[in-house]
Amino acid sequence: MFRCVLPVAVAIAVALPAAAQVKREFPPTALRGEVVFVSPPDVTLNGAPARLAPGARIRGENNLLVMPASLAGHKRVVHYTVEATTGLLMDVWLLRADELANEPWPTSVQQAQAWSFDRAAQKWTRP
């Protein structure tokens, strides 16, 4: 019985890190900004005080969930979405080097409304 379980467990352990490095797709509402994680749920977004929503999801470079308390004191460039009704940060993605190199990326709602987004290529184009 245990002889069959071990190869399956090894295969899963090897496949998980590879699956986590796939190209992430960000929604067209995601903006780029700099977040300083102060003390959850408080953060600083682009130098201004902000808060994480109660159901906020923070995804690390490997696309796995990260607990906000583990980021206290860190400053990161991220993609983020904001709840329309409350203005609180809802989704936060800690960016990898390849994602940071994907420029231009809007930093304001006005830019996102004026630029065009190719969802398949995950590329923004300025007018």
Mean pLDDT value across residues 19-32:
86
Closest CA to 36 of 73, 8, 2: 73
For residues 72 and 44, give the distance between their C-alpha atoms in angstroms, rounded to a whole number. 11
| Residue 18 pLDDT greater than 90, yes or no | no
2-95 placed in CATH 2.40.50: yes
Query: Which pLDDT band holds residue 7 (cuts at 50, 70, 90)?
Result: low
Q: Where are the domains of the chain?
A: 2-95
Helix count (H) and strand count (E) of the chain? Answer: 3, 7
Q: What are the pLDDT digits (tens) for 30-74?
A: 999 999 999 999 999 999 999 999 999 999 999 999 999 999 999
Q: Answer yes or no: are the C-beta atoms of 45 and 35 closer than 8 Å.
A: yes
Strand pairing of 48-59 and 75-82?
Answer: unpaired
Closest CA to 39 of 49, 31, 29: 49
Higher pLDDT, 20 or 103: 103
Share of the chain above pLDDT 90, in %: 82
User: 122 in helix, strand or coil?
Assistant: coil
Mean confidence (pLDDT) of the chain: 89
